[in-house]
Amino acid sequence: MTIKSIIFFVFVFCANTYSQNIKSVQLRPQQENSFSAIVPLGTILELSFDDLDADSKDYQYKIEHMTHNWESSRLLPSQYIDGFDQNTIINVTNSFNTFQSYTHYAVTIPNINTIITKSGNYLLSVLNDDDEVVFTRRFVFYEKAATVGVSVVRSRNALTADKQQTVQFSINHPNFQINNPQQEINAVIIKNNNWNETITNINPTFFKPNQLLYTYTNKTNFWGGNEYLNFDTKIIRNNSLNVVKVVRKDVFHHYLYPLTYNPYLGYSFNPDINGQFVIRTIEAADPRTEADYAMMHFSISTEAPIPNKKIYVYGAFNDFKIEEENLLTYNSKDKAYQANILLKQGFYNYTYATVDDESQVDTNSITGSFFMTENEYTVIAYYRPFGSLFDRVIGVGTAIFDQNR
């Protein structure tokens, strides 16, 4: 697989049929400003989402243990869960004092009915009354059995030094023996908690006693991208960060400052949260049920359409997916690409992704790619000794690129 396909390939997980009435899906630790669902075994994660139908549905969650490459593992539910792998979500609350009515659902994992006993990859599915999958989310529980050291440096490839970053790492395992690392260890690098931007199938470059080194100069290169764009709608009735105009209709409509398309756009530092979003409002006490929804108007100004490319709004608000709801269309009168997306009040990071005629996704063609961009990389170490039925996650390491190194 080429670097381009590794970085830009977006896959749709089978049965992940994301219903249009479902919004604001979050699966995160309960700590504030913590976005990653890659956490130590025993950590409490909270799944929450809104249903804009504003009725009461009997949604259920289902948890399935997966292999390192996200296929169903050989374990039975009783082997990785103490309790039940499927249960009804009973924490249901109606929205209060909002123009857009919705029902808010929440559940914590693990809970009294579902206690996860094994480390590994997990697929969390939400099912409707007909046992159909409404949406899925991934999470990882890991053990602290090994230490994963990660560093990120500017690419040493002369052709891409200004645009790419190289991830290097080590797996230190002093407490147990690994007999055949190439067969027993699998490592995955994830950029900005986005499962669509990963590098897999990485073998160690050097072996030391109780240590594996991964010091590639090209194989573990990522395009740096650019800092994410952002907006803040914590105030629903007035302009806020990067909101140029607010109009009240059936719901409030927020018009964002348009991005002017420039293929020679340069890098400028802008602190971001790497594509994530935070639900918040300063106009009510409980943002879970009192934050309203606003129709967000995105636009990219350009004199003519970009040939042979479709453009999408891209971010964690829809799990970094390419969907028709997020497609921008070209308005020849305004000379701009435009899209309208209904989003809950809060602070959002987003960018623009293009899809060409061969369905290749490129997250850099609109805003550019630069080695200076501040990205967070996570390395997951999976261990499956001979004869084992599943992939343990024995360690996780993270690093943020520092251009001063």
Report the C-alpha gap between 191 and 8 in whole angstroms: 12
Spatial distance between the Cα atoms of 374 and 371, rounded to a whole number of angstroms? 9
d(CA 251, CA 155): 47
- The pTM of the full predicted model, rounded to 2 decimals, is 0.92
For the chain, 405 residues long, the average pLDDT of each consecutive 10-residue run is 41 46 95 91 97 93 97 96 95 96 96 96 96 96 97 93 96 90 95 96 93 94 96 93 93 96 88 95 94 97 94 96 96 96 97 94 95 96 93 97 69
Is residue 135 classed as helix, strand or coil in its secondary structure? strand
For 298-310, the DSSP string reads EEEE-SSPPTTEE
pLDDT at 95: 96
Q: Token match 């645009």: residue?
A: 163
Closest C-alpha among 361, 374, 346 to residue 283: 346
- Per-residue buried b or exposed e for 221-233, using 16+ beta carbons within 10 Å of the residue's own CB: bbbbbbbbbbbbb
**Domain architecture of the chain: domains with CATH:** 13-142 (2.60.40), 147-224+372-400 (2.60.40), 229-362 (2.60.40)
Instruction: Report the C-alpha gap between 233 and 293 in whole angstroms.
Output: 9
**Tokens representing 348?**
């959002």
| Closest residue by Cα to residue 316 from 360, 290, 347, 340 | 347
The token pair that represents 384 in the structure block: 């499956």
Which pLDDT belongs to residue 269? 86
pLDDT (tens digit per residue) in 90-143: 999 999 999 999 999 999 999 999 999 999 999 999 999 999 999 999 999 999
Q: How far apart are CA 350 and CA 320, in angstroms?
A: 9
**Cα distance from N-terminal residue to C-terminal residue, the chain:** 30
At 6 the pLDDT is 41
At 139, is the secondary structure helix, strand, or coil? strand
**Whole-Å CA distances, 178 to 183, 184, 207, 236, 259:** 10, 7, 11, 56, 51
What whole-number distance in Å separates Cα of residue 165 and Cα of residue 404? 13
Q: Which residues pair with 15 in a beta bridge?
A: none
Does 29 sit behind a cis peptide bond, omega within 30 degrees of 0 on the bond before it?
Answer: no
